[in-house]
Amino acid sequence: MTLHPSESPTNLVIAMKISFLKLDPELPTPQHSHEGDGGVDLYARIDFRLDPGQRDLIPTGVAVAVPVGFAGFVVPRSGLANRYGFGVVNGPGLIDSGYRGEVKVILINHGDETVKVSRGERIAQLVVVAVAVQDWVEVDELPDSNRGDGGFGSTGR
With respect to residue 142, please indicate whether it lies within any of the assigned structural domains.
no
With respect to residue 156, please indicate whether it lies within any of the assigned structural domains.
no
With respect to residue 150, please indicate whether it lies within any of the assigned structural domains.
no
Determine the straight-line distance between the first and last CA of the chain, rounded to whole angstroms: 41
With respect to residue 151, please indicate whether it lies within any of the assigned structural domains.
no
With respect to residue 139, please indicate whether it lies within any of the assigned structural domains.
no
Report the phi/psi class of residue 149: left, alpha or beta, with left for phi > 0 and alpha for psi in -120 to 50.
alpha
CATH number at residue 34: 2.70.40.10
With respect to residue 40, please indicate whether it lies within any of the assigned structural domains.
yes
With respect to residue 26, please indicate whether it lies within any of the assigned structural domains.
yes
pLDDT of 48: 97
Going residue by residue through the chain, which has 157 residues, state the pLDDT in tens, using 9 for 90 and above. 555 555 555 677 778 899 999 999 999 999 888 888 899 999 999 999 999 999 999 999 999 999 999 999 999 998 888 898 899 998 899 999 999 999 999 999 999 999 999 999 999 999 999 999 889 999 999 998 887 777 776 666 6
pTM score of the predicted model: 0.83
pLDDT of 8: 56
With respect to residue 64, please indicate whether it lies within any of the assigned structural domains.
yes
* Domain that includes residue 63, residue range: 18-130
Structurally, the chain folds into a number of domains equal to: 1
**In whole angstroms, how far apart are CA 85 and each of 13, 28, 57, 113?**
33, 24, 16, 9
